[in-house]
Amino acid sequence: MDETHDSKLKSWIEVNENSDFPIQNIPFGVYSPKGGGDLHVATAIGDYVIDLAYLDDAGFFIDTDIEETEVFHEPTLNAFMALGQKAWKEARLTISRLLREDNTSFKDNDELRKIALIPMNDAEMEMPVDIGDYTDFYSSREHATNVGTMFRGPDAALMPNWLHLPVGYHGRASSVVLSGTDIVRPKGQTKAPDAEKPSFGDCNRMDFELEMGVLIGSGNILSEPIAVDEAKDHVFGFTLVNDWSARDIQTWEYIPLGPFLAKNFATSISPWIITMEALEPFKCKSPEQNPKPFDYLNNKKDCNYDINLEIHLKAENMSESHIISKTNYNYLYWNMAQQIAHHTVTGCNLRTGDLLASGTISGPEKDNRGSMLELSWNGKEPISLPNGEKRTFLEDGDIVTLKGWCKGKGYRIGFGDCKGTILPSA
């Protein structure tokens, strides 16, 4: 850790103690002015977006790997992410110093503040990364056990491979959407347990999945795997992920190749990418693994993170959202370094902008479950909302919001919201 992690740091920009974006965070995203204008790379502090393209034009990134690259003038983070760890750290340190309460170089430049310091209400957040490939894992033991118990019974809850490798599948990158994008209820084939034939129509078991995603900064060359203890160096940062799921479509289609239409219609991500540097103070151990993984999966360094997670649900006629689950990223049995090592052990090449999602994150208690499938136990135990309504799966008009944060001493490193509203099928 370095000076950017000091819990005593304060900014000349006022930041509420419950803000997701204190000076210790320095997330990265892409925005455009609501009144119209170019997309630029930005950071956030308190209730403000800071346009990094204008800070670059002002000469604040001289003598760094960012100088003369124009990466902050790009419409995505990809070019910046491809520069690698040294550039990421230099950017973080430069921004941190500019925002400190005793630094006047940005604070007292009225002309620069006018164009580079934008209230969040005046900023339109954009898709931060051009995602080339998307992989979804299945790494929560509690989630896998719950789902397996529902469909196969407790004695066969985990498949024989589950404790030996991080199970995953390749998802659809084209339908990864930004938080706030409406989610249209999909159509597809389903088959009721007592039906002779399948039928075609609306999904009736619409679900969310609380996940975290890592975004690859620097990839690997084809045929050269990434070692488990070097995996962290390839990750630019984390984002919240809601991997929406059509459960009834999935039940009929998934044998023998796994999810297809049940997952390809939408996956939501939050607009701000929280860097590995920002999360460094919150590293923690992963759950004990038994049996011991193969050497290529055996971490020598801690590579899990203490990230609090919440799921909020707001029905159409509710005035405010209601928390239906609380869990933590640190419950994951297979951590992100193991996921990357396994993904590349064949020589598969990851590339800048690739998204790797954790899979649904659940904990040991009922109110730690990360999907409606688990919370309602496949529809058998409806959950109650404050307005008297009940839910087994999502209904049209429901708004699901995911939240995540790490708790520091006097500050929190937050992820912003990942939100989506369910609309009727087209």
Show Cβ contacts of residue 388 under 8 Å, excluding neighbours closer than 6 positions.
none
| One fold for 3-126 and 134-423 | no
Instruction: Tell me which DSSP letter residue 293 carries.
Output: P
Its pTM stands at 0.97
pLDDT of residue 204: 97
* Spacing of C-alpha 136 from chain mean position: 12
CA nearest to 414, candidates 121, 138, 45, 152 = 45
Q: Where are the alpha helices (DSSP H) in 228-357?
A: 247-253, 276-279, 336-344
Span between the terminal Cα atoms of the chain, in Å:
50
66 touches 199 (CB < 8 A): no
pLDDT of residue 4: 97
Mean pLDDT of 286-299: 96
pLDDT of residue 132: 96
In the predicted structure, residue 217 carries a pLDDT above the cut 90: yes
DSSP labels, 153-215: -GGG-S-TTTTTS--EEE--GGGEEETT--EEPPEEEE--TT-SS-EEEE-SSEE-BEEEEEE
Percentage of the chain beyond pLDDT 70 is 100
Residue 399: in which H helix or E strand, if any?
strand 399-407
Model confidence at 358, pLDDT cuts 50, 70, 90, reads: very high
pLDDT of residue 381: 98
415 touches 214 (CB < 8 A): no
- Rounded Cα distance, 307 and 282, in Å: 8
Using alpha carbons, list the distances in angstroms from residue 410 to 18, 74, 238. 9, 34, 22
To the query of whether residue 143 is one of the catalytic residues in this protein, the response is yes
- Rounded Cα distance, 276 and 279, in Å: 5
For domain 134-423, the CATH architecture is Alpha-Beta Complex (3.90)
- Rounded Cα distance, 391 and 375, in Å: 10
Neighbours of 139 (CB within 10 A): 27
Report the C-alpha dihedral over residues 105, 106, 110, 112, rounded to 10 degrees. 120
Name the average pLDDT for the chain.
97
DSSP labels, 5-64: G-TT--BSS---TT-S--TTT--BEEEEETTS---EEEEEETTEEEEHHHHHHTTTTTTS
**Fold topology of 3-126:** SH3 type barrels. (2.30.30)
Model confidence at 99, pLDDT cuts 50, 70, 90, reads: very high
pLDDT tens readout for residues 238-255: 999 999 999 999 999 999
pLDDT of residue 1: 84
pLDDT of residue 290: 96
- Rounded Cα distance, 24 and 30, in Å: 19
pLDDT tens readout for residues 300-349: 989 999 999 999 999 999 999 999 999 999 999 999 999 999 999 999 99
Model confidence at 92, pLDDT cuts 50, 70, 90, reads: very high
Amino acid code (one letter) for 53? A
CA nearest to 236, candidates 308, 139, 332, 129 = 129
72 burial level (CB within 10 Å; 0-12, 13-18, 19+): buried
pLDDT tens readout for residues 118-171: 999 999 999 999 999 999 999 999 999 999 999 999 999 999 999 999 999 999
Catalytically annotated residue among 5, 73, 143, 164: 143
In the predicted structure, residue 46 carries a pLDDT above the cut 90: yes
Mean pLDDT of 391-412: 97
Residue 69: in which H helix or E strand, if any?
none
pLDDT of residue 426: 87
CA nearest to 216, candidates 263, 173, 267, 152 = 173
385 touches 315 (CB < 8 A): yes
In the predicted structure, residue 19 carries a pLDDT above the cut 90: yes
φ, ψ for residue 383, nearest 5 deg: -95, 150
391 touches 372 (CB < 8 A): yes
pLDDT tens readout for residues 185-210: 999 999 999 999 999 999 999 999 99
Residue ranges per structural domain of the chain: 3-126, 134-423
